[in-house]
Amino acid sequence: MPAPRGIRRTGGNAPGSTCPAAALASEVARQPDALKSVFAEGAERMIVSIADLLPKAPSARDEAVDMACRMLGALVLVRAMPASSSLGRELLATATERCAEKRDDLKQAATGREQSRTSWR
């Protein structure tokens, strides 16, 4: 499965072409609370956007938080590695694959629940 836009290996070391949260998180941590609040609002919007792409379920927000943390963590680590790093490629590939697998599992579970509901009718 190809990496999502902004997650490709070449983007890991290309400032301005990847997720700004991954690029700026360590800098924002040293800033006043007012700026941290703006950053938190952006993180919240990102989580909501991810949750909106998942099947509607009580766990959608938790899953979105997990996916955001997984991908941001991978990007932060990759940005600190040389572009030629095989570990960097492995980190991005694994994080991307796990997020896609989780998304597919959630979709399959949602489809199964829907089929169970219709079979009882």
pLDDT at 117: 57
Rounded (10°) CA dihedral 34, 67, 1, 108 = -140
pLDDT at 110: 83
Read off the tokens for 48.
């909501």
Overall CATH class of domain 9-119: mainly alpha
d(CA 77, CA 17) in angstroms, rounded, equals 16
pLDDT at 7: 47
pLDDT at 57: 85
pLDDT averaged over 10-residue windows placed end to end, the chain, 121 residues: 45 61 89 95 95 90 95 92 94 94 88 62 52
Q: 103-106: long-range contacts at Cβ-Cβ below 8 A with a sequence spacing of 24 or more? A: 103/53, 103/54, 103/67, 106/54, 106/55, 106/57, 106/59, 106/60, 106/63
Q: Domain locations in the chain?
A: 9-119
